[in-house]
Structure 1
Amino acid sequence: MSQSKDKSVLLRLRNNKTVKGNLVDFDVHMNLTLNDAEDVSEENPIKLGKILLRGDNILAISLPDEES
């Protein structure tokens, strides 16, 4: 996952929200910091800016391909 820093990731959260953003950092608990985050759950994305997500709220993480 450290290779995905500064790349776009897609997250599925426990509250059925989907968030997309650039991965800044993470820790052993999978707490993530994202830049330029957006809630893309609905048809019109909502800009969130820089956010911190607790690891226990994350269901799935979609990382970029290694070639990207």
Structure 2
Amino acid sequence: MQTADPGLRRRYAEAAAAQRGAIAAELRAAGAAHLRLRTDRGLAAGHGAFRRRAAARRTRGTTR
């Protein structure tokens, strides 16, 4: 597969974004917290942001 093809890369990025959106929507519908990790950022930064958002939700009295 020629991964240098701009069209292929665009379609792949679109499909991946749609998949991430569908997963996030399912998790929200289930009331689950969603920790998104990336390989281009440190684990600590992602986990810290997740914990801050969770704490903010708790102080607002919401579960999602």
TM-score (norm 2): 0.25
Q: Which one has a larger percent helix, Structure 1 or Structure 2?
A: 2
Structure scoring higher RCO (CA < 8 A, sep ≥ 6) equals 1
TM-score (norm 1): 0.24
Q: Which has the larger radius of gyration?
A: 2
